[in-house]
Amino acid sequence: MSWWTTHVTPRLVEVGSTSDAMLAYRRRVCAGLTGRVVELGFGGGANLEALPPEVTSIVAIEPSDVAWQLSEKRRTRSAVPVERGGLDGQRLDLPDESADSALSTLTLCTIPDAEAALREVVRVLRPGGALHFFEHGLAPDADVERWQHRLEPMQMRLFDGCHLTRRIDQLVEGSGLAIDTIERAYAPSLGVMRPWLYAYLGRAVRPA
Ligand SMILES: C[S@@+](CC[C@H](N)C(=O)[O-])C[C@H]1O[C@@H](n2cnc3c(N)ncnc32)[C@H](O)[C@@H]1O
């Protein structure tokens, strides 16, 4: 991992993803989470303040030690206990059917093998448990999509392998989870930001 990826990227993510608008999205994606929640790409822990009271614990999967340190204040303040349950969403060191819910925000873009991570989510979720996701990905408009493909190599270099062109809905459906709610829309911003802001917000259930 480069110095930039190790030290700068987690801090840029922290600055860029903690606005009031982002907190509103976090509250929406976290609504309905229950019990023991596995969170892929815990980052700086920005979802902690958006958790509903039905969440009893968080199993944080996070490879970056810098992000984990940045999350310390939030973990200390949180009413919900957080354990660092692993470093890689692609290989979860957790028993089958051991989680009630799973959460992924702005992370399926970055995990190198997102299919493998989703297979792991399916494995560790109990039947009837749900993955809640809020992710950015491929836009439906040809002109935006062209820019996403052009910008992706730079994006990946600056942001730890973050892709702009993943079809999040297809990835989730392909894992065997059944999507029961999904919204696809650009987050409000300047038009020039559209390649980064096509969002998929939804919930997908592990069939019983
Ligand atoms: C853009 S950040 C999002 C952080 C947080 N989820 C949020 O919403 O603010 C992407 C996160 O995914 C983490 N990540 C990268 N590769 C990963 C992997 N293989 N497994 C789990 N998390 C990973 C990064 O370290 C980073 O914290």
* CB-neighbour burial class of residue 96 (10 A; exposed 0-12, middle 13-18, buried 19+): exposed
Tell if the pTM clears 0.85, that is, is over it: yes
CA dihedral (25, 28, 31, 36) in degrees, to 10, reads -30
User: In ligand 1, which atom is closest to the CA atom of 14?
Assistant: 9
Residue 121 CB less than 6 A away from ligand 1: no
CATH classification at residue 34: 3.40.50.150
Answer whether residue 19 shows pLDDT above 90.
no
User: Given this model, what pLDDT does residue 4 score?
Assistant: 82
pLDDT band at residue 173 using 50, 70 and 90 as cut-offs:
very high
The whole-number pLDDT of residue 48 equals 97
134-155 pLDDT tens trace:
999 999 999 999 999 999 999 9
- Split into its structural domains, the chain has a count of 1
- CA 41 to centroid of ligand 1, rounded, Å: 3
1 or 201, greater pLDDT: 201
Our answer on whether the CB atom of 118 is closer than 6 Å to any ligand 1 atom is no
Task: Say how many C-beta atoms besides its own lie within 10 A of residue 176's C-beta.
Answer: 13
Q: Identify the domain containing residue 74 by its residue range.
A: 3-205
130 and 203 Cβ atoms separated by less than 8 Å: yes
SS3 assignment for 6-65: HHHHHHHHHHHCCCHHHHHHHHHHHCCCCEEEEEECCCCCCCHHHCCCCEEEEEEECCCH
pLDDT of residue 10: 81
Q: What is the mean pLDDT of residues 157-165?
A: 94
Task: Confirm or reject: Cβ of 89 under 6 Å from ligand 1.
Answer: yes
Q: Nearest C-alpha to atom 10 of ligand 1 is from which residue? A: 107
Measured from the Cβ of residue 25, the count of other Cβ atoms closer than 10 Å reads: 18
Instruction: Convert the pLDDT of each residue in 91-105 to its tens digit.
Output: 999 999 999 999 999
The residue whose C-alpha atom lies closest to atom 1 belonging to ligand 1 is: 106
23-77, pLDDT tens digit by residue?
Answer: 999 999 999 999 999 999 999 999 999 999 999 999 999 999 999 999 999 999 9
Is the pLDDT confidence value at 166 over 80?
Answer: yes
Average pLDDT in the 163-173 region?
A: 98
